[in-house]
Amino acid sequence: MFVKSNCAFEFLNPETGEKKYIPKDYIGDLPDWVKKTQLYKMATTLNKGCYGLETAYPQSSDNTPKMSSEEYELRCKAKAANIENSDKLSIIELIEAMKDSEINRHNELLAKAKELKIEKYKEMNNEELLTAIANAEQKE
């Protein structure tokens, strides 16, 4: 079962006790047993804000996917990155727009790190920059 989640969930298999954790903004497959859990039922019913869990990618009238799960994942990430008209772009255009978005995000983080006088910020990736920025802002 393919899902897109707006927040983190930990599902517990009611029959075996197996746990399945999915992080915030997870896009991917889940075991079928997850559908049997109360948490799944609640998350798919609410489908708002942090509690949202979308359970399928778009289907055509004959119940076949309109797009592959990879394309759906890319389109969801583009939407989350606030790429304009992402639903109208081709796959190639989406990939280029995502690259541009990532470069812009990295440059914004570099500028913020420089402003906060974080050492060796030019050598950091986005995740490291975010952590260093958060630490520096807590110290202020």
The predicted-structure confidence for 41-85, as pLDDT tens digits, reads as follows 888 776 554 556 766 555 555 555 567 777 877 888 888 788 888
Q: In terms of DSSP bridges, do strands 2-5 and 53-54 run parallel, antiparallel, or are they unpaired?
A: antiparallel
The predicted-structure confidence for 90-127, as pLDDT tens digits, reads as follows 888 988 998 998 899 899 999 999 999 999 999 999 88
Give the H or E element holding residue 4.
Answer: strand 2-5
pLDDT of residue 9: 87
pLDDT of residue 81: 81
The predicted-structure confidence for 20-38, as pLDDT tens digits, reads as follows 998 887 877 788 898 888 8
